[in-house]
């Protein structure tokens, strides 16, 4: 019994986190960033009902204050959307891949940090559906086994009794 509920609670936790994250993301905008210092950067954000993750391959150097960086805004601006690198979204989903050759043209050549960005945005509602289906599957598999049914018994009819 405790083992079954421990397993089930392990699969309930992501659902609770998604519900809290979804509610939080409508009134707050949070972002984190990790820079390896070797030209690779991981960027994540939560806001406007979506969860975004972007991977950057860039020439930018690592910041002086360490590899981790985070930011929180109480009310996100309406024009700021997470990783809107593509042209549009479908039901909240977005996949994008962009290449930047630099940020300025000097003598007809792009100069500045070059980068390649892969980004994905997933709405919280989709994560809730996936984790709920997973919980349903686990709940059915960890259900209590039926005990004491044995072999079926056939009742004798009146003809067999006589």
pTM, two decimals, is 0.66
Nearest in space to 43 (alpha carbons), one of 82, 74, 101, 88 = 82
Domain boundaries, the chain: 2-144
User: Which residue, chain included where needed, has tokens 């690198």?
Assistant: 85
Mean pLDDT of 140-144: 81
The Cα–Cα gap between 16 and 19 comes to 5
Give, in degrees to the nearest 5, the angle at Cα 35 between 34 and 37. Answer: 155
Q: pLDDT tens, 87-128?
A: 566 777 888 877 776 665 666 666 666 778 888 888 999 999
User: How far is the first Cα of the chain from the last one, in angstroms, to the nearest whole number?
Assistant: 49
C-alpha dist (Å) from residue 19 to 39, 92, 117, 125, 132: 35, 16, 29, 9, 11
User: Which residue, chain included where needed, has tokens 């309930």?
Assistant: 12
Do residues 132 and 14 make contact, with C-beta atoms less than 8 angstroms apart? no
Q: pLDDT tens, 43-57?
A: 888 888 888 888 877
């Amino acid at each position: 019994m405790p083992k079954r509920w421990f397993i089930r609670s392990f699969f309930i936790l992501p659902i609770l986190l998604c519900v809290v994250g979804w509610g939080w993301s409508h009134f707050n905008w949070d972002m984190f960033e990790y820079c390896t210092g070797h030209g690779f950067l991981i960027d994540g954000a939560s806001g406007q009902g979506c969860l975004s993750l972007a991977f950057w391959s860039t020439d930018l150097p690592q910041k002086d204050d360490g590899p981790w960086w985070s930011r929180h805004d109480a009310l996100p601006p309406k024009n700021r959307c997470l990783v809107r690198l593509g042209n549009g979204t479908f039901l909240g989903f977005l996949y994008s891949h962009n290449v930047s050759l630099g940020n300025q043209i000097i003598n007809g050549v792009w100069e500045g940090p070059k980068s390649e960005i892969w980004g994905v945005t997933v709405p919280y509602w989709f994560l809730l559906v996936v984790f709920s289906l997973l919980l349903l599957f686990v709940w059915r598999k960890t259900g209590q086994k039926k005990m004491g049914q044995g072999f079926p018994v056939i009742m004798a009819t009146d003809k067999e009794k006589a």
